[in-house]
Amino acid sequence: MDNRPIGVFDSGLGGLTAVKELEKLLPRESLVYFGDTGRVPYGTRSREAVRRYASQDMAFLMDHGVKAVLAACGTVSSTCADIGQELPVPYFDVIGPSAKAAAARTKNKKVGVIGTSATIHSDAYRQALLGLDYDLEVYSQPCPLFVPLVENAFVSPQDEVTRLVAQRYLGPLREAGVDTLILGCTHYPIISAIIGSVMGQGVALIDSGREAALALSRRLEQDGLLCGSDGPRESSFYVSDEPENFTSVAELFLGHSVQGRTERIDIEDA
């Protein structure tokens, strides 16, 4: 048994989709979440900048005594695949678990991937998928406007702006006939209703945050690192910009309030 918290980080709010899944899967566990809201989005940054940011994010979590780290960020996972290797605790990203889920789910072997520009240009998902099944056909599409739309709460299934953007981005994937679509950014499940309606009922959506959370929970159970306490979960949330917008949108992501549990920190000096 291990009562230390689980650490999760992302460039902003999107990683909260993974937090929500962890709360469902591991209701006894405490979490430490860092959202780098002052430097979002990572998807438009250079690889060097993303690597520096991720290193700072992980160091912050390690200073809080976490027992595992989840990079709930598609950009970090795809452009800095080796960055967690030196950590003294288990490290998880979103690429491998999502690729495995998609390869197992597809029936026609046509898999779509959407993500930030950095994630798509890294080709990490394509490589992971073809490493599992070389017969897969992988169709990738960058969707850079999805993150700012989500961060600014344009998330209603009826939102015309987000729907128009989704139709523009997803059209080539529909034409390609994919039957499985990886949501390669943890922001995207928040607008999965729009994405799903544009793609059509026959297309399975793979939630990268959920798949990573499942992989982490299995590893903690396997290694005997689950929390042994029956006491209340004590999760905390940190951001690098003013917390007001984060707390209001976080409730939409999580289904519960984080008011009073969110603190702003200077990640450069943390």
Residue 268 pLDDT: 86
Residue 143 known to be catalytic: no
Query: Do 187 and 151 touch, CB atoms closer than 8 A?
Result: yes
Domain annotation covers residue 1:
no
Residue-wise pLDDT tens for the chain (270 aa)? 889 999 999 998 889 999 999 999 999 999 999 999 999 888 888 999 999 999 999 999 999 999 999 999 989 999 998 999 889 999 999 999 999 999 999 999 999 999 988 899 999 999 999 999 999 999 999 999 998 898 888 999 999 999 999 999 999 999 999 999 999 998 899 999 999 999 999 999 999 999 999 999 999 999 999 987 666 678 899 999 999 888 888 887 888 889 888 999 999 886
**Per annotation, catalytic residue among 73, 80, 143, 227:** 73
Residue 230 pLDDT: 66
SS percent in the chain: helix, strand, coil, step 5: 45, 15, 40
Q: Which burial class, exposed, middle or buried, applies to 93 when counting CB atoms under 10 A from its CB (0-12, 13-18, 19+)?
A: buried
CA distances from 156 to 133, 160, 161, 195 (A): 36, 9, 10, 12
Question: Does 102 lie in the same domain as 70?
Answer: no
- The number of C-alpha atoms within 13 Å of 109 and in the hemisphere containing its C-beta is 7
CB atoms within 10 A of CB 254: 17
**Per annotation, catalytic residue among 80, 143, 185, 227:** 185
Question: Does 139 lie in the same domain as 105?
Answer: yes
Residue 73 known to be catalytic: yes
Structural domain that includes position 80: 6-93+210-264
Question: Does 205 lie in the same domain as 99?
Answer: yes
Tokens matching residue 160: 């015309």
Tokens matching residue 130: 């073809």
Domain annotation covers residue 171:
yes
d(CA 47, CA 185): 17
Residue 111 pLDDT: 98
Residue 228 pLDDT: 78
